[in-house]
Amino acid sequence: MFCEHLKKALRFYYITDDSSPTLEPLEQARIAIKAGAGTIQYRNKSFSSAYYDEAKAIRDICRCNGVCFIVNDNILLAKLLKADGVHLGQDDEPASAARRVLGPGAIIGISVSNMDELDKTDLSDCDYIGTGPVFATSTKKDAKKVIGLSGLQSVSEKSFLPVVAIGGIDALSAHSCFASGAAGVAAISSVSRASDPLSSALKLGAACSCSQRPAINSPWDSESGPGEFGLIENLIKDIPINSKIIVPPGDDACLLASLSNPVITTDTQREGVHFRLSWQTPEEIGIKAVEVTLSDLAACYARPVSLFINLCLPAYVSASMIEEIYKGAHKALNKYDCTLGGGNISSGSELALDLFAIGEARKDIFPKRLNAKPGYGLYCTGPLGLARAGFELLNNNDTDFPDLVLKFKLPKARFDAAHILANAGIDCVMDISDGLSGDVGHITKASQVTIELDLKSCPINPSLLLFCQKHGKIPEEIIIYGGEDYELLFACHPDTYEIIADELKTSFQVGRCLPFNGKHIISPFGTGSFQHGRKS
């Protein structure tokens, strides 16, 4: 999670109270979320398997409302629940162990009670510090010595990480904690044991400058959710109808108008592999899913006709989140005059979109990977490596290059370039999803040629250059090994390229095709490719 987003999430931090005499932890979480909390920590010192459903329900309600879900102490429980992170005490396992188990994207907090603990604590794998007790508290039986506002200020001034104040904090004392340098305040008993928990939580949320949520989203398959059929009805009610569809979604099947040269492609977008909810908004997920699926049609010079989406939905997804995904999908579909033909919904452990697209090919040309010939040049329609850099920035919580992050989040299918290539009669084309080297390998094997990569003509984006300088990487390697650029890679005679170069102003040469010499690719930077799901 990016630093600014994390600071916002930490502003109002609620910790569940498993000993509250009147309010169950799930209801506590609902109240805190309603009042504007950005983080919920599940704390249960007597946790056993009997409490698993409770923890999962709290996770689901957090995810449905965009609230960080943190597990107290238990790294393996955090892993099992796919929590956003874990909070550790001084006597728990080290943060390095949590980072190893939970991965680079996890949020890891550490308790620091005083300056001595701060000095001896390794913070290299931590994202924030919990400091206190600032005031006297009765919630924790083993609470350490009260440090007061002066102690909080000392830790805040010395720490390079955001500090969350904890211990006896309510709406009245929250202001003084912020004035003492705290990035956020954590509350327990001021909500869980208040005579009016919601009123107390709302006052605390206001003191933290957090907006009250007008409504709490529930899991799509909960009793208060729309269920499968209600959700489908909501998703298809506003689908525009045009001449491409004779029988629209809502029946057992969709009937399309007759196509002379139908082209079919599929794609998948899986949470934790292709996207993360902490990285992208639901709308961005929908946009990207459509763009990358239709990119294959662009590489075939096919006109997009209709797209079908099969959803696998975990319990922590709300109906409103799904509607936002479809909002993004419709934005991308409308851009290419493509219809939504229908789909399916099922439940699962993680969010996934399986997409199926139908297009109509041109009658005069259909490009194939096997059409590269010795003497051809190898070219690309636009910059490479930017999406890979964006992926690494997101993975390392680096906010310095938002333009690179945008290239990963929102690629574009290059139908504009495909139109130019088709009119020039270029019949060896594919989109670059697996990285330049990986996709060049597909062409060399299909065409039985050797391709020599040459990046002398390849422009290096200024942000990519700065990114590589900052992180000690070689730009050419990012360009060759990267992935998810979705530019078009094409082979043609150099004379043909000269004719279209002015129309494709962002294009450039990346290599040349040679008679096969027993080696598929010649590259000064080695050969490799981006593979979805491979751990980096």
Positions marked active-site: 43, 111, 140
Pairwise CA distance, residues 375 & 195, whole Å: 82
Q: Kindly report the three-state secondary structure assignment for every residue of 294-358.
A: HHHHHHCCCEEEEEEEEEEECCCCEHHHHHHHHHHHHHHHHHCCCEEEEEEEEECCCCEEEEEEE
Question: 232: Cβ–Cβ under 8 A, 6 or more apart, which residues?
Answer: 345
Residue 414 DSSP label? -
Q: What are phi and psi of 329, to 5 degrees?
A: -60, -45
Pairing of strands 12-15, 449-453: unpaired
Contact 388/404 with Cβ under 8 angstroms? no
Closest CA relative to residue 452, chosen from 493, 499, 511: 511
Contact 479/385 with Cβ under 8 angstroms? yes
Contact 59/83 with Cβ under 8 angstroms? yes
Pairwise CA distance, residues 344 & 332, whole Å: 19
Contact 459/383 with Cβ under 8 angstroms? yes
Contact 185/12 with Cβ under 8 angstroms? yes
Pairwise CA distance, residues 1 & 168, whole Å: 28
Pairwise CA distance, residues 294 & 268, whole Å: 12
Pairing of strands 107-112, 85-88: parallel
| Separation in Å, CA 151 to CA 116, 182, 485 | 11, 11, 50
Contact 264/300 with Cβ under 8 angstroms? no
